[in-house]
Amino acid sequence: MNDGAIILLTDRPDQSRALEAVLKTVGHCEVVFDDRNFANSAKPIAIVSDLTLTRYESSRRLRALVSLDRKKRIPVICLMRSTSDGALRQARDLGATVCLPAFTAPNLIAQVIRDQVGAHDEDGDSVCAEGVARATEVLTNLFDGAREGSVALGVLEAGLIPILAAVREGGLTRWLDTVWTHDDATYQHCLLVAGVAAQFVTFLNFREEDRRHFVRAALLHDLGKARIPQAILNKPGRLDADEIAIIRTHPVIGYDILRGSGCDSLTLGAVRHHHEMLDGSGYPDGLAGSAISDTVRVLTICDIYAALTERRAYRDPMPARDALAVLDSMGTKLEGRLVQYFGRAMMAVR
């Protein structure tokens, strides 16, 4: 870990001791709970905010600490006591790079810090391997929860930064080569879509917050398949009409699972509508035109491209240029301008 300290900002130091103990296994950790303590704190390499941000003094202290070194964007993990849209917006305005529920396990918070602080210290292969491993762990937890009836989205945030770092540092080609060795077709597809989405939104120079949003939607988009029979998901050939009808229920299943979990509305829309088409020919709701959000428009392109280029036991992957030609041939089903930008992003991969 680099020189400096992990700063744990808290307004309840007595309840933050377990978190402090775990953070000390990552690196030097200092707890800041008042202004005198704040003035004597070390230079931060990461900040964990365990604060009630609606309190003026708490938000002021976090803003002051984040502003100490504006040239270097350090990880800022905010533990949220409310996950409303307004609370999340306030945290991000204050500099949060990751927002996690306040009840998130300390070891998961520590792993997020390792991922964010350590990513640039590793070579492309190890960053990619770590990103795939972390994302697979997240998917496993999410799909297991979905099968049992509910999901804990707190684990999701820990997988976003490693994916973005892996594609940025190691390149999309390395990511795809690693993911193609995965033995679970559904997980493989979610990981492919996440990597492709990370490449696309990075190419478009989206803000970090928006990049995480699209990777989040990519990881969650097929969550409903957790309740589709494995015999259908892994069938080595074409599905019959009844099987197609069953698998087409997965967007609504995923939406219903996530609706009560605190998932944001844009991601919920992406999960439900990633098979909608601009001309109204998609499913499950037959949306068309302006009724389809920008998130869905981007995710649908990434989803189709990943499906065309992924490796399966019963067929070879389609070459990238051929897959892009298929996207282009879909005409008014997809947004042509986005398809053009997407093609440039895929041709720029390393």
CATH number, span 1-121? 3.40.50.2300
Q: What is the pLDDT along the chain (350 residues), one digit of tens a residue?
A: 556 789 999 988 888 888 998 898 888 889 988 766 655 667 888 899 999 998 988 888 888 888 765 555 678 888 988 877 788 888 888 888 788 888 888 888 887 787 666 544 455 667 777 788 888 888 888 898 899 877 878 778 777 878 888 887 778 888 888 887 766 788 889 999 999 999 999 888 888 888 889 999 999 999 999 999 988 988 877 889 999 999 999 999 999 999 988 888 999 999 999 999 999 999 999 999 999 999 999 999 999 999 999 876 566 788 989 999 999 999 999 999 999 999 999 987 65
Nearest CA to 116 out of 87, 81, 157, 153 is that of 157
Per-residue model confidence (pLDDT) at position 73? 67
Per-residue model confidence (pLDDT) at position 183? 63
Per-residue model confidence (pLDDT) at position 329? 97
* Phi (first) and psi of residue 167, to 5 degrees: -70, -35
Mean pLDDT of the chain: 85
Alpha-carbon torsion 343, 210, 110, 271, what sign? negative
Domain ranges of the chain: 1-121, 123-350
Q: What is the DSSP letter of 257?
A: H
* Phi (first) and psi of residue 347, to 5 degrees: -75, -15
> CATH classification of 123-350 is 1.10.3210.10, yes or no?
yes
